[in-house]
Structure 1
Amino acid sequence: MDRRRTPGLSSLSSRGLQNHHYTSHGATLRTRNADSLSTQLSVFQSLLHNFAVTHSKDIRANPAFRAEFARMCSALNIDFLASSYHRDNKDGKPSGAGGESIWAQLLGGSVNDFYFNLGVLIVEECRVTRSENGGLISVSDLKARISKSQRIGGSMEVSDDDIKRAVDSLAPLGSCFSIMKIGHRSLIRSVPKELNTDQSTVLEAIQVLGYVTVSMLQLNLNWERPRAHAVVEDLMADSLVWVDTQAGENEYWSPAFLTAAGMSS
């Protein structure tokens, strides 16, 4: 009677050796791919460095060009406002005093200083206008206010993209400054309070006629009167809307949208 032979020690040793070869080959491939990817990234960074040197004047003076350059940096995971990528000297040590990023070195710090100074102006303008708009100001309104300021200096034009990047650079200050979208408008929130869904809906509705009333909210949103009244009262308490009592029914206007509409007309 034939008996099925069980695998012996030699079979187990052969299988273990085969698994070892597979593991070793896989590790070699991973290392090779990682080295190749690192080399490609270094080439891209070098090309981007040469591009920045060649077009440094355009980057400083042209907001559209500056935005495209920033997008290229983002694609390579390089933040020229706080980059840790440094050029190395021949002795292997990073160049630049004080750990300054390579982009600050090759651009003379002008782009960095521009965004940081713009961030300071944003903080100041938000603080000055907070009593008027409750800490919610449109990007277009803020851009117009900043364009009148002489503190940035030079002939650099400020774009919406510049303002958004400057606001992002304020992230270390906490959650007080952020860009939010209400309808088709971008607004800067400079207070820690978050808007709930109902408040955002009311502010978006204000963009249609410039104001809302409690009855309008009831009719168009199918809200009960207590809900509509509570939302506009909360917005008014935070100075995000103003009330006009001269009409037959109280009309609630947003100062952020009022200013933006007046400037675009």
Structure 2
Amino acid sequence: MDMRRGVGLAAFDKTERAAYSDLGSSILSTHVSELTDQLKRFQTALSKFAESHADEIRSDPVFRAEFVKMCSAIGVDPLASSAANKKGGSFWAELLGRDVGDFYFDLAVRVIDLCRRTKDENGGLILVDEVRARLNSVAKSSDSLVSHDDIVRAVDTLKPLGHGFGIVWLANREFIRSVPQEMSSDQAVAIEATQALGYISVPILRDNLNWEHARCLTVLNDLLAAGLVWVDDEARPKEYWSPSWIKQ
């Protein structure tokens, strides 16, 4: 007798487990196939939608933002050029006359230039809405207008460049950071404090945050070295001002 063969309930359990495993694999394969087909249908529908509404996508910032959200929801990255078509161009170039990604990359260059030109005014921190207002004020036509969402997405395209540019939240508002290093949590708190009075000092940080004197002074000196604040040496105690407040 072959003692390696299962007998009784043991043999039944082994056979049943194998059957359930085969059934599970079959169901999973079917679901994956169905989901793949469904995704392809969504992408085809999105292509037709983009073709029908190309003018709105190009000229209407709000419509463009919603279109990009739709793309992201079904796994289509509008910031990346897709596979070349038969004509040698990209998918988005064929539909819209240019890559959606190219629009954001071009906008990113304009954002970089604006941040560079205003760094002496704001120390390397500028509100996203201020950037939008400045860019739209020099727009040559309504088709060139950009939205808050456009600017945030354009800044996201700069991530491969490292820590030079990024979006930070301060006092519940979005800023573009164009200084070369990341801000620490202490620095972020100190910068937020300047939004109320325009300046901070060692006593303000110490009394409101219960920080030690050395911690306050370290944070302020780091911000000063980064150009994010300017110091008033004549004030007693010294006041560390936001450059944007000094301009105002």
After TM superposition, the score normalised by the length of structure 2 is: 0.85
Tell me how far apart the structure 1 counterparts of residues 207 and 5 of structure 2 sit (CA, whole Å): 84
What is the aligned length? Answer: 245
Tell me how far apart the structure 1 counterparts of residues 64 and 245 of structure 2 sit (CA, whole Å): 28
Map 1:1-265 → 2, pairs under 5 A: 16-84=14-82, 94-97=85-88, 100=90, 102-109=91-98, 111-149=100-138, 155-256=143-244, 262=248
Deviation at 1:231, TM superposition (A): 1.4
Contact between 2:105 and 2:154, CA under 8 Å: does it hold in 1? yes
Contact between 2:82 and 2:92, CA under 8 Å: does it hold in 1? no
Contact between 2:224 and 2:231, CA under 8 Å: does it hold in 1? yes
Contact between 2:65 and 2:150, CA under 8 Å: does it hold in 1? yes
Q: Please give the per-residue CA displacement for 1:190-213, whole angstroms capped at 9, x wherever unaligned.
A: 233111121111111111122112
Tell me how far apart the structure 1 counterparts of residues 188 and 63 of structure 2 sit (CA, whole Å): 34
Deviation at 1:76, TM superposition (A): 0.8
Contact between 2:163 and 2:182, CA under 8 Å: does it hold in 1? no
Tell me how far apart the structure 2 counterparts of residues 230 and 170 of structure 1 sit (CA, whole Å): 30
The alignment yields a C-alpha RMSD, in angstroms, of 2.7
Q: Please give the per-residue CA displacement for 1:103-155, whole angstroms capped at 9, x wherever unaligned.
A: 232011164332121111112222333344443222123223323445x8763
Q: Which secondary structure does the structure 1 equivalent of 2:143 belong to?
A: coil
Tell me how far apart the structure 2 counterparts of residues 173 and 56 of structure 1 sit (CA, whole Å): 30
Tell me how far apart the structure 2 counterparts of residues 26 and 248 of structure 1 sit (CA, whole Å): 75
Deviation at 1:43, TM superposition (A): 1.4
Contact between 2:198 and 2:245, CA under 8 Å: does it hold in 1? yes
Tell me how far apart the structure 2 counterparts of residues 160 and 71 of structure 1 sit (CA, whole Å): 14
Tell me how far apart the structure 2 counterparts of residues 179 and 9 of structure 1 sit (CA, whole Å): 64
Contact between 1:138 and 1:257, CA under 8 Å: does it hold in 2? no
Deviation at 1:225, TM superposition (A): 2.4
In structure 1, stretches of 5+ residues that fail to align are: 1-5, 87-93
- Judged with a 3 Å threshold, the aligned counterparts in structure 2 of structure 1 residues 244 and 34 are, in CA distance, closer, same or farther, namely same
Q: Which moved more, 1:187-196 or 1:125-134?
A: 125-134
Contact between 1:80 and 1:104, CA under 8 Å: does it hold in 2? no
Tell me how far apart the structure 1 counterparts of residues 245 and 145 of structure 2 sit (CA, whole Å): 23
Tell me how far apart the structure 2 counterparts of residues 84 and 14 of structure 1 sit (CA, whole Å): 52
Q: Please give the per-residue CA displacement for 1:19-76, whole angstroms capped at 9, x wherever unaligned.
A: 4433322221111101111111111111211211111111111111111111111111
Tell me how far apart the structure 2 counterparts of residues 257 and 39 of structure 1 sit (CA, whole Å): 56
Letter of the aligned partner of 1:118 in structure 2? L
In structure 2, stretches of 5+ residues that fail to align are: none
- Judged with a 3 Å threshold, the aligned counterparts in structure 2 of structure 1 residues 39 and 113 are, in CA distance, closer, same or farther, namely same
Tell me how far apart the structure 2 counterparts of residues 204 and 9 of structure 1 sit (CA, whole Å): 71
Letter of the aligned partner of 2:60 in structure 1? N
Q: Which moved more, 1:106-115 or 1:213-222?
A: 106-115
Percent of pairs identical after alignment? 43
- Judged with a 3 Å threshold, the aligned counterparts in structure 2 of structure 1 residues 240 and 121 are, in CA distance, closer, same or farther, namely same
Tell me how far apart the structure 2 counterparts of residues 58 and 110 of structure 1 sit (CA, whole Å): 15
Alignment match, 1:90? none
